[in-house]
Structure 1
Amino acid sequence: MSAVPDVTVVIPVYNTMPYLTACLDSMAAQTIGADRFEVVAVDDGSTDGSDEELDRFAAEHPGLLRVVHQANSGGPAAPCNAALEIARGRYVFFIGSDDYFGPEALERMVDRADELGSDVLLCKMVGVNGRKAPDVFAEDVADAPFPTPELAWALSNTKLFRRELVESEGLRFPEGMAVCSDVPFTLRAMAKASKITIQSDYDSYYAVKRETGGNLIYSTGPVEWVHAAEQIVAAIEDLYGPGPEREALMYRVFSREIAKCVQPQFLTADKSSREKFWEAVAGFCDAHLTEAIRERLPTEKRVRISLAQRREWDRLEDAIREDAPRFLIEDGRVFVRYSGFREGCPDSWYEATAERVIGRLAKGIDPVDLAWAGDRATGFFLEYWFRVPVAGLEPDAVGVSAERLVKAKGPAARRSVPAGEFHVHDVAAEVELRPDGDTTVLAARLPLGDLAGTAGRWSLRGHLAMGPFVYDLPLTAVKGPVERQGRPGNVSVDWGRKSLIVVHSSGKPSLKRRVANLVGLKPSRK
C-alpha cells in the first residue's frame, strides 16, 4: 500500500451480522486497486460475532483492513471519530456496516472527485429490502448548489469527503446523539465545501434495510429523535441566517426527524411514556415551528404535528391511527378528514393543496356489487358499484372506463395525473353518484358492445378528479358472488392475485356460432 492511499473507507460496526459479511466482501471486490485504498473498521463492543468476523476478514486480507476494538459507546459517532484519528486517505468515505458497495464504486468516485476538484461527492444510492434512497440521483451534477430543497434530504455521511476539508474545519461527529449524529457533520462539510458533486452514472452504494428492522433509524424513540433534531437545528442556525437556505433545512427537520416521532409504532407504549413523547414534540414545535413550514407540510404530517403542538393527545393518537381517512371536496378545495376536522382546528391544517393523496384514497375504496345486465335487443352491460371515501364529488369529477391491456400484461398500477393531462380510457361507462354521508357510492354501467366485438382484455378502472390531480385506479373484485344472468356468451370477467378486475372478450363469434345461437344448437367442435 502506498504511503498515502487515495481513500479511507470507515466502517462503524455494532451487531450487524450477517450483513457485515456482505459489506466486507464488497471491499475485497473493489476495482480501484489494493494500493489505492484502506478500510478502517471500528467495532463498538459488538456481542453478535461482528468482532470475530472483522478479525477473520483482516487475517484473510492482510493490509486491506485495520480493525479497532473498543467498548460500546452507544452510537456510531465515537467509532467514526476514532477512525478519523487514524485515517490516512486523501478522501474518506463512511459506509454503514449493513450496507455494501458496487465493485467499481471507489474507483469511479475517486476519479470523478479528482477530475472535478470536488470536496464532497454524493454517489448513487440504491435501496435494498424496501429502504429508500435520497431522490437526488436523476442526473450527474458537477457543481451542485447547497442547500437546496433536494439536497436538504441527503445529509447522511455516506459520501466521499476530501479529508483536507474535514481536518481544516475540525469536523467530528457529536457523540451525545442516539441517532442522526452524521447530519451535523455532513451539514457542516457541505456548507464549507467549495464544490459538491452528484455522481449518478453507477449504482455505487446499496443501502440495506435489515429484515428485522434493526437499523438505527427504525429503532429510535421520539425523545431521541427530538434531541437529534435540536442538535441539527443548532448546526443550521450556526451556519445560516434567516432566509430560504435556513428555511429549506428547517423544513426537512420537521418533515423527517419530527415526523418520525408521531408514527403508529409508538402507540404501543404506555400512556405515561406516550405523553412524554408527544410533549417532547410539542416543546420542539413551540420553539421552532413557523406557519410557513406548517403550511408546506403534507396533511398527514401537518395534522399530527399541529395536534401535538396543541397538546391534544387523544386527537393526535386518533389521527396517527387513521391510515385510510375520508375526504371532503368543497368549493374546489380538498380536505383530508383526520381527527379534529371542523372541531375547533383550522381548516388549513387539513387542506391538501399540491400533494397527491392516492395511497390514502385507494385504501378507502370499497367494492359493493358487480352484475351483468341487458339483453341482445337492448345491448349488454357490466354494472359495478363501489364506495369511495369522498363527499362533495360533482358528476363531472368521476368516471369509470375500461383500458385495453397489451398482450399478457396485467392492469396498470394506480396513478395520479395532473388534471389537464388525463384522458379517459378506451370504453367509458355511464356513472351515477349516490352521496351517502361522508362517502359516495358510484354506480357504473359499462356498455359491452365494443368490447364484445373485439378479442382482448380490459382493465376496469375508476378515476376521480380531486384538486389538481386525477386519480386513476384499477377496480377490485367484490367479495360476494357475481350475478351471471344477462352475460353475453363471449365476454367474461376474472381477477388475479391482487383481485383486480379484468374483462375478457373472445371477439365476434364465427358464422357457425351465430347460426347455432339462432337455432339453439351447439356447433361442432371440429
Structure 2
Amino acid sequence: MPVKVSVIIPVYNPGPYIEDCVGSMLRQSLPPDEFEVIFVDDGSTDDTPARLDELAAEHAHIQVVHQENSGWSGKPRNVGIDTSKGEFVMFVDNDDYLGDEALERMYDYGVANEADVVVGKMAGKGRGVPVELFRVNRPHANVENAPLIDSLTPHKMVRRAFLERTGLRFPEGRRRLEDHVFVTEAYLRADNVSVLSDYVCYYHIRRDDGSNAGFQRFDPVGYFKNLREALDVVERYTEPGPLRDRLFRRWLRVEMVERLSGRRMRTIPDEYRRELYDEIRGVVLERFGPGVDAGLRPAQRIVAALVRADRYDDLLAFAERQAAIAPAARPTGVAWAGEAVRVTFDVEYLHADTPLTFSEHAKAPDGTPEDLEGANAWLDADAVARFGQATADLLVRERSTSAQYFQPVTVERETVPSGEDGRVRLVLHVTADIDPATAAGGAPLGAGLWDTYVRVGLGSWTKDCRLGPDAGPDRPEPHAGVVGGRVVLPYWTNEHHNFSLDVDRAGKRLGIAAVAPEDIRGDGPVLRVPLPLHVAAATPVELRLTGPGVPPVDVPATLSPGDGTGEGAAGRATLTAELPLERLKGATWRASVCLVPDAPGRRRHALTPALRVTASGVRAVRPPAPAAGGPQRPGLARRVVRKLRRTLRSALGR
C-alpha cells in the first residue's frame, strides 16, 4: 500500500516518557501498512536507542535513524522529512502522544479539503494550547479568516509535495523558536490549511520532572534574536498594513506583553526579569509600529506603552494589580433537562476575592494614560462600554488527558449597582446544557471524570476558572442519569466543591444499594423497583439474579422515568421486569442491575434486598445477616489459612 502518512519523531533522552508516544503509534486506527513512523535519535545517551531498535525489529512500519547530537529538534525533523515516503508528514515530539484515530482522521480531512497543512485539535496536560482556534472545524482556513497564528508548535500534518515544492525546512542548530519560523512560513505559503476540531488529535504533555525543552529558562538575547527570524518570515510574505500588523501582534502579545503582565511578571526573579525587559523593549522599538499596538486590548496596550516609555517601575505596579484579578463562576442550579444536564451559574471578575467594580462614568483616554490611575479608568470605561459583547463559555475537560470541548450556552448580562458612588458590578447569568451523547465535539463523552471550566471574556480579560464552589448546604444534587448509552453522575468534588461529571465510573455513589425492601413491589411475576436515577424515556436494562449453587439468570428489564405520579417520583426511575417464576420459585435470589447492557465490560450494581420467589409472585426481603462474631465475607477465614500455608511452604522450600 502507498504510505499515506510519515510520522517524524525527534528523540533525545526521553527516558520512560517515550512509552506513551510509542503506545499511541501502535494503537493508530490507520492500518500499519498505510503509515510509517520515523524516530530520529539525536545522539541520545540513555537507553532509548536500544529501545527504539527493538521496536523497529518488531514492527515493519517503524524505523530508526541514529545521528550525532545536533543540539535541537530542527535537524532531526529535516532528516525525517528527507527519509519519509508518505503523502503527508506528521510531526510529533517524543514526550507527547496522538489520539488513537488521529492519523486516519487528519489524513482523510486533509485529502477531502485539499489541504497543504492540517492542524489537529490539541489537549494540553500541564501545557497551554490554543482554545479559540479549536472552537469549530475550519476546513478552509488561512491567517486572515482564522486565528491560525495562535498555534505555532510544529505538531501539524503537512503535505510532503508542498514541502518539496517550497523547499520548506526547519532551521537547524541549537536555537529557539525554529517551529515558529517553519509553521509561519507554512501558513503563509499554503494553498489551504484545514483545522480539525471535533477530535483530540494531539496530547501535549508536560513531564512530571519539568524537563521539557520548552520549560527551561532561556537566554533572552538568543531567544529574541530567533524571534526576529519569525518576524522576518512575516515581512517576506506579507505587505505592510493591517494583516502584517495583526500577525506581528501575536508575538507582541504572547511573547512580550504576557511575559510582563500579572502574576507571570511578578514571579520572575528580578535580575532575569530586567534582562527580559531590556530585550523585549529592543524588539518593540525596532520592529513594531503603532498599528501593532492598536489592536491589543486596553490592558495589553498599557503594558506595551509602559515598555515603550521605559517605565519599568510602573510596569511592575500595574502587573501587581492585574495579578489579583480573576473570574469566579458560582453555580445556581443543576438539573436534568431531558437527556442533558442543565447548569446555571453567575460569573463576574473579582479583585483579591472581592467583586470587581467599574465606574459607569469613566471615559477612555484620547491617548495612552499618563499614570496608573488613568490606566485603571481606561479599563473601567472599556469594560462598561463593551459589556454587551462580554462572553462566558462552559467547557468540559477530561481529567486524565485534559481533552476539552465547548458546550452550548445562553448568556444574560446584568449591571448591578455596587453601593458605591457611580460604581457597578458586571455580572453574567449563564445557562449551559451538557448532553453526554454529543458533548465531546458532537461525539459521546468517554468514560472518565469530566471537570467543568468557565472561560470568561470581559473587557481586557479572557481567563478561565472552575465552575464552583457549590452553593453550600442547599447545593443542587441531581441523581445520576442513564442517557445516551452512558451512566452520568453530576457531583461536587470533595476538596474544592467544584462541579464535575462522572461518566461510567461511579458505583456506590449511584445509591442503588440503598433501596429498602419495603420500596420494592411484586405484582405476580412483575417486579417494580424504584431507583435514584434519571432517564428521559423508557430505557432497556438487565436484571441479574444469582442464587446458591445455580447459574445466574439474566432478565430483560426497563427503566421508566418518574413523573411525580403513579409508579415513580419525579427524578426517580422505576425498574420493571417480568420474572420467570417457574424457573426461580422456591429460592431467595440476590439481584444486580446492568444499566448499559450493550456496553463492553458491563458493570453491575447490586441491590441490597434479596428477592424471595414463590409460584405466585416475588417479594423483597432483607439479606441474612452474618453469624455473630463470624467472618463478614463467606470463606474469608479459609482463604486466609490457605494463604498462610502457602507462605510457610514457600519459606521452608517445600
Q: Specify the TM-score bucket, using the shorter chain as the normaliser.
A: 0.5 to 0.7
Q: Is the 8 A contact 2:117 2:192 kept in 1?
A: yes
Q: What corresponds to 1:182 in structure 2?
A: 179
Q: What corresponds to 2:81 in structure 1?
A: 84
Q: Is the 8 A contact 2:359 2:424 kept in 1?
A: no
Q: Is the 8 A contact 2:42 2:70 kept in 1?
A: yes
Return closer, same or farther for 1:268/1:475 CA change in 2, 3 Å cut-off.
closer
**Which structure 2 segments of 5+ residues have no match?**
326-350, 393-415, 432-451, 473-492, 499-654
1:329 maps to a residue whose letter is F
Q: What corresponds to 1:112 in structure 2?
A: 109
> Matched residue of 1:126: which SS?
strand
**What is the Cα deviation at residue 308 of structure 1?**
2.9
Percent identity among equivalent residues? 28
> Matched residue of 2:163: which SS?
helix
> Matched residue of 1:200: which SS?
strand
Q: Is the 8 A contact 2:298 2:378 kept in 1?
A: no
The match for 2:61 among 61, 64, 75 is 64
Q: What corresponds to 1:239 in structure 2?
A: 237
Q: Is the 8 A contact 1:45 1:71 kept in 2?
A: yes
> Matched residue of 2:140: which SS?
coil
The match for 2:97 among 95, 100, 105 is 100
Higher relative contact order, chain-length normalized (CA < 8 Å, sep 6+): 1
Q: What corresponds to 2:48 in structure 1?
A: 50
Q: Is the 8 A contact 1:134 1:154 kept in 2?
A: no
- Residue deviations 1:448-467 (CA, integer Å, cap 9, x gap): xxxxxxxxxxxxxxxxx999
State the alpha-carbon separation in 2 of the partners of residues 98 and 253 from structure 1.
Answer: 26
The match for 1:127 among 117, 124, 129 is 124
**What is the Cα deviation at residue 153 of structure 1?**
0.9
Q: Is the 8 A contact 1:225 1:257 kept in 2?
A: no
- Residue deviations 1:242-295 (CA, integer Å, cap 9, x gap): 123212211111111223543666767765544322110011010123333324
Larger Rg: 2
Return closer, same or farther for 1:114/1:252 CA change in 2, 3 Å cut-off.
same
Q: Is the 8 A contact 1:282 1:310 kept in 2?
A: no
State the alpha-carbon separation in 2 of the partners of residues 324 and 243 from structure 1.
Answer: 36
**What is the Cα deviation at residue 55 of structure 1?**
2.6
Return the structure number with greater strand share.
Answer: 2
**What is the Cα deviation at residue 205 of structure 1?**
1.6
**Alignment of structure 1 residues 430-441 onto 2, 5 Å:** none
State the alpha-carbon separation in 2 of the partners of residues 467 and 94 from structure 1.
Answer: 33
Q: What corresponds to 1:22 in structure 2?
A: 20
**Alignment of structure 1 residues 97-496 onto 2, 5 Å:** 97-129=94-126, 131-148=128-145, 150-175=147-172, 178-221=175-218, 222-259=220-257, 261-262=259-260, 272-322=271-321, 323-324=323-324, 329-333=358-362, 341-342=371-372, 352-353=382-383, 394=422, 397=425
Q: Is the 8 A contact 1:226 1:280 kept in 2?
A: yes
- Residue deviations 1:29-75 (CA, integer Å, cap 9, x gap): 112112111111112233444334323322332x2222222333232
User: What is the count of residue pairs matched by the alignment?
Assistant: 392
Q: What corresponds to 1:369 in structure 2?
A: none
> Matched residue of 1:18: which SS?
helix
- Residue deviations 1:293-339 (CA, integer Å, cap 9, x gap): 3243345544444333333333333444441166773454489xxx9
Structural RMSD (CA): 4.2
1:324 maps to a residue whose letter is A
Return closer, same or farther for 1:128/1:466 CA change in 2, 3 Å cut-off.
closer
State the alpha-carbon separation in 2 of the partners of residues 276 and 308 from structure 1.
Answer: 13
**What is the Cα deviation at residue 160 of structure 1?**
1.3
Return closer, same or farther for 1:131/1:56 CA change in 2, 3 Å cut-off.
farther
1:283 maps to a residue whose letter is G
State the alpha-carbon separation in 1 of the partners of residues 419 and 71 from structure 2.
Answer: 50
Q: Is the 8 A contact 1:41 1:68 kept in 2?
A: yes
The match for 2:5 among 4, 7, 32 is 7
Return closer, same or farther for 1:242/1:33 CA change in 2, 3 Å cut-off.
same
State the alpha-carbon separation in 2 of the partners of residues 348 and 315 from structure 1.
Answer: 16
Q: Is the 8 A contact 1:92 1:162 kept in 2?
A: yes
State the alpha-carbon separation in 1 of the partners of residues 65 and 40 from structure 2.
Answer: 5
State the alpha-carbon separation in 1 of the partners of residues 427 and 183 from structure 2.
Answer: 49
Return closer, same or farther for 1:342/1:91 CA change in 2, 3 Å cut-off.
closer
> Matched residue of 2:106: which SS?
helix
Return closer, same or farther for 1:303/1:156 CA change in 2, 3 Å cut-off.
same
> Matched residue of 1:121: which SS?
strand
